[in-house]
Amino acid sequence: MDAFNWTIPVAGGGLLMREVLGNVFGLASALGGMARRVWAWPVGILGNLILLTVFLASLFTGADHATLLGQAGRQVMFIAVSVYGWARWRQARRGHAEDAPAITPEWAGWRGRVFLVTAMAVGTVALTPVFRALGSWEPVWADAWTFVGSLLATYGMARGWVEFWLIWVAVDVVGVPLLWSTGYYASAVMYAFYGAFTLIGFFVWLRATDRDKPAVETLLPDGPEGDVAR
């Protein structure tokens, strides 16, 4: 048996175990992110590496799966932004108690929100024809939407912005039907679960903005931001 392509028969198709494993690491990373633990970043990177091999399978192994360039590209993006987030949270955590969260959540402010909304719209419009030309699966705009949204959500998490959870909700709403229609069932189910999970994470971080407010100075002052607003 080819362990790299080990599958379990599901609904007339096959459930790729690498896809399941990559999403398990993704879930563990999300749990760590909710708790604001530094280890969430390296765990997430490992899951991204595994999922990268899944979404590029049709290019490199001839697997009978749709090629989703946005999904594959976002794994590379996750790794790059996660390295930034990992370094940022490690630095923010210095001088804290051993069991203390790495960062204190804060609001992005109106300037930050305008940046996120504008980048989401412009990025999706700009990348859709690029992904289509490269042969990504239709509807290509949905692939571009999940890519741009994932980039912004990961950046928002690294910044400690509460709004990043809501961006993930927007990604999940589009990502679930896209992944299911292309046969990535494990990822589609995980996205559906993430939709509920991200709402819980939003309220957890929302409470922490007041409870842990004195530690907000530990965040580094880089990137687009505005006044803290509720």
Tell me the pLDDT tens digit for each residue of 191-207: 888 888 899 999 999 99
CA 29 to chain centre: 10
Helix (H) or strand (E) holding 96: none
The pTM is what?
0.76
CA distance 93 to 97: 8
Residue 138 to residue 167: CA distance in whole angstroms: 22
The Cα–Cα gap between 198 and 229 comes to 21
Query: pLDDT tens across 13-66, in order?
Result: 556 788 888 888 988 998 999 999 999 999 999 998 988 887 776 555 555 555
